[in-house]
Amino acid sequence: MLPDYVRVPRVNIVDRVSIPSKRAAVIVVDMQNDFAHPNGRLYAPSSREIIPRIVSLLERARRSGVRVIYTKDTHYGDDPVEFPIWGPHVIRGTWGWEIVDELKPREGDIVVEKMRYDAFFGTPLDHILRMYGVQHLVVTGTVANICVLHTVASARLRLYDVVVPVDAVAALNEFDYAAALRQMDFLYRVTLTKTDGVEFV
């Protein structure tokens, strides 16, 4: 039987991490209207709160020549796997599927459509990263314990170095957020920091 509450283990958050620009990419996970806009079908309010920090991070990344990659959760009108769980969401071609206006991709950015939580599963993401010589990933976005965590896990299993700014990922609730950071830190040995602690060199 589960207890009424559990103590969240402390995670290691470093003050600063230096990342080589020429071998780095920032991945923005699923910052789409259905998740990060108040009118979205699966709106998580904390997804809205992280937008300014992702904007700031992307500005610094682009100035340093760091590649920027967006993932777009993508479903069709009769998805038999996720719709029974979450209901219809991010249906390809709809407003809810589009990335929020504040984070619209720019020329030269790469957009990867994915049909499952993991941005590597069934997509060309790994090939794209290796083609451009990317070894270091900074992963931001939503939702922390679902698409962010599965993407981070898949990246680590492929031996990428992963940094997650803890103030630039969002979850549906505090428990899910804390559980995701615990898994990233303890199980996958991801480097956790704050947005301002990410330095591109």
CA angle 80, 83, 87 (to 5 degrees): 160
Annotated catalytic residue 4? no
CA distances from 91 to 9, 152, 165 (A): 37, 24, 28
Question: Which position among 73, 114, 161, 167 bears the catalytic label?
Answer: 114
Q: Mind giving me the DSSP string for 55-114?
A: HHHHHHHHHTT-EEEEEEE-B-TT-TTTHHHH-S-SBTTSGGGSBPGGG---TT-EEEEE
Tokens 């719709």 locate to 83
Residues 6+ apart with CB under 8 A from 25: 66, 67, 68, 69, 129, 132, 134, 136, 137, 138
Is 101 in the active site? Answer: no
- Find, among 100, 28, 34, the residue nearest to 59 by Cα: 28
Tell me, yes or no, if 30 is annotated catalytic.
yes
The CA distance from 125 to 155, in Å, is 10
Q: Tell me which of 30, 118, 167, 185 is the catalytic residue.
A: 30
The Cα–Cα gap between 184 and 190 comes to 5
* Residue in 147, 161, 167, 185 annotated catalytic: 147
Which residues are catalytically annotated? 30, 114, 147
